[in-house]
């Protein structure tokens, strides 16, 4: 049996034999001291791995050899202690991964001709808006450009030189994305990347709603100063339908669907083509049609004048977007994250409708519009969404709206 230099510690690669306790030809018992070894970490006695006779000593006292080197040979008695036989086979400690050669990034200001140094946020904003430092008047010490200097420049309409891109048209207008535009862009692309959007639509007869509006409109407008639109009726029906289909009033959180008890109804409001905001009507399920009408009017008005508080944008659980004023037929809306569904209401127009009666079919003229819901197929399935839409349709068509508005 070979006796090898043991690895006395993880990082030890060699050892020095400092003393042999046995000479060649001498007999040794298992666990009896055979030699001393010293390493930079350890000095210790090493016992014989097995009983037998020392037949060979290959490394003399004072010699330093690598771990695993055969130091001596013992002719065993045949019942050698098994545990020591794999000394040489002990796995070498894995080498530390080589440090990646690092190339120093070429940092520092890019030689802007002795101008004051630019702060990180100023560099970022200049790049985002396609501006050059020379375009900005710095108000900081020594003319240093501050963050607010760049923002003021942008706000005042000072678009920068367009980024050098291909194209030779001279009549281009470069419109840097506003902060709101950037946020909307980010949110929309993220939503599309996040949710498995499915669009479903249903055709709804607003005959009953129209009847109520017709009866009350003049009085309403006189008292409130604005018209009673279809939207509060739709919102009311949606809130009531959610009671039966709560899973559309929810958020996706990781692998969980978080379903809410209250409906915080988000209403998309266009800011006169200058962007989009989505304020929230809290606990909308408890509100009457009249309350909803007032809340929608109030939020939309304050949204356009920039008077909404930040908390009025938070916590939406279901969203309605309304392009109806422009007479659209159908819109496929993008889900307002992390919600799971969004409803679009489009143009409502008089159409011939077939009514099935006891005496046969009749064709009548009815105000008809399409309600289209995008839902997140991760969270709910088509049948559930369709049943919910069906419930909304039924509620709009069969509720006694006059009584509701009492």
Q: Which residues participate in catalysis according to the annotation?
A: 377, 381
Among 24, 75, 90, 314, binds other proteins (CB under 8 A): 90
CA distance 284 to 232: 10
By C-beta, is 13 or 328 nearer to other proteins? 13
Among 60, 95, 141, 163, binds other proteins (CB under 8 A): 141
Is 81 a binding residue for other proteins by CB under 8 A? The answer is: yes
Tokens 């949710």 appear where? Answer: 195
**Binding footprint of other proteins, residue count (CB under 8 A):** 31
Cis bond upstream, residue 338 (ω within 30)? yes
The DSSP code sequence of 256-308 is EEEE-SS--EEE-EE-TTS-EE--EETTGGG--HHHHHHHHHHHHHHHHTT--
Among 23, 60, 78, 83, binds other proteins (CB under 8 A): 83
Listed in sequence order, the residues at least 6 apart from 404 whose beta carbon sits closer than 8 Å to its beta carbon are 212, 236, 288, 289
Contact 229, 325 (CB under 8 A): no
Is 314 a binding residue for other proteins by CB under 8 A? The answer is: no
**Quick check: helix, strand or coil at residue 18?**
strand
Among 29, 43, 186, 404, binds other proteins (CB under 8 A): 43
Contact 264, 282 (CB under 8 A): yes
| DSSP-derived secondary structure letter, 324 | G
118-137 residues near other proteins, rule: CB under 8 A: 119-124
Is 196 a binding residue for other proteins by CB under 8 A? The answer is: no
By C-beta, is 144 or 262 nearer to other proteins? 144
Is 185 a binding residue for other proteins by CB under 8 A? The answer is: no
Is 253 a binding residue for other proteins by CB under 8 A? The answer is: no
Only segment of 37-45, 227-235, 248-256, 341-349 that touches other proteins (CB under 8 A): 37-45
Tokens 């249903």 appear where? Answer: 202
C-beta of 305: minimal distance to other proteins in Å? 22
Is 69 a binding residue for other proteins by CB under 8 A? The answer is: no
C-beta of 267: minimal distance to other proteins in Å? 27
C-beta of 295: minimal distance to other proteins in Å? 28
Is 179 a binding residue for other proteins by CB under 8 A? The answer is: no
Among 24, 42, 185, 329, binds other proteins (CB under 8 A): 42
DSSP lists the bridge partners of residue 363 as 354
Is 281 a binding residue for other proteins by CB under 8 A? The answer is: no
* The token pair that represents 65 in the structure block: 């050899």
DSSP lists the bridge partners of residue 192 as none
Is 182 a binding residue for other proteins by CB under 8 A? The answer is: no
- Taking residue 213's Cβ as centre, other Cβ atoms within 10 Å add up to 20
DSSP lists the bridge partners of residue 37 as 17, 44
Contact residues for other proteins (CB under 8 A)?
6-10, 31, 36, 41-47, 81, 83-84, 86-87, 90-91, 119-124, 141, 146-148
């Amino acid at each position: 049996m070979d006796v090898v230099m043991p690895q006395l510690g993880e990082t030890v690669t060699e050892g020095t034999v400092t003393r042999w306790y046995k000479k060649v030809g001498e007999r040794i018992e298992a666990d009896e001291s055979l030699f001393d070894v010293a390493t930079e970490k350890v000095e210790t006695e090493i016992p014989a791995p097995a009983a037998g006779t020392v037949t060979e000593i290959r490394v003399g006292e004072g010699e330093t050899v690598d771990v695993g080197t055969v130091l001596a040979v013992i002719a065993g008695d045949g019942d050698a202690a098994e545990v020591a036989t794999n000394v040489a086979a002990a796995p070498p400690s894995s080498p530390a991964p080589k440090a990646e050669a690092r190339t120093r990034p070429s940092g520092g200001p890019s030689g802007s001709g002795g101008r004051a140094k630019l702060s990180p946020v100023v560099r970022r904003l200049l790049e985002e808006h396609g501006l050059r430092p020379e375009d900005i008047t710095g108000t900081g010490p020594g003319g240093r450009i501050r963050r607010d200097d760049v923002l003021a420049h942008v706000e005042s309409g000072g678009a920068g030189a367009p980024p050098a891109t291909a194209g030779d048209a001279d009549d281009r207008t470069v419109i840097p994305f506003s902060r709101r535009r950037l946020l909307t862009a980010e949110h929309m692309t993220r939503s599309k990347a996040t949710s498995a959007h499915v669009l479903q639509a249903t055709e709804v007869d607003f005959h009953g709603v129209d009847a109520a509006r017709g009866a009350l409109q003049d009085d309403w407008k006189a008292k409130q100063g604005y018209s009673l639109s279809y939207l509060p009726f739709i919102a009311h029906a949606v809130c009531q339908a959610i009671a039966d289909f709560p899973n559309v009033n929810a958020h996706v959180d990781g692998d969980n669907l978080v379903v809410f008890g209250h409906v915080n109804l988000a209403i998309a409001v266009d800011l006169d083509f200058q962007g989009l905001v989505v304020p929230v009507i809290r606990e909308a399920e408890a509100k009457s049609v009249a309350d909803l009408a007032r809340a929608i009017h109030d939020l939309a008005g304050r949204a356009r004048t920039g008077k909404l508080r930040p908390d009025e944008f938070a916590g939406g659980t279901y969203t309605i977007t309304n392009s109806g004023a422009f007479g659209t037929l159908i819109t496929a809306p993008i889900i307002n994250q992390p919600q799971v569904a969004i409803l679009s209401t489009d143009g409502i127009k008089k159409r011939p409708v077939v009514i099935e009666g006891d005496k046969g079919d009749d064709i009548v003229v009815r105000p008809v519009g399409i309600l289209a819901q995008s839902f997140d197929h991760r969270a709910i399935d088509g049948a559930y969404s369709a049943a919910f839409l069906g419930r909304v349709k039924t509620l709009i068509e069969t509720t006694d709206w006059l009584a509701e508005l009492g």
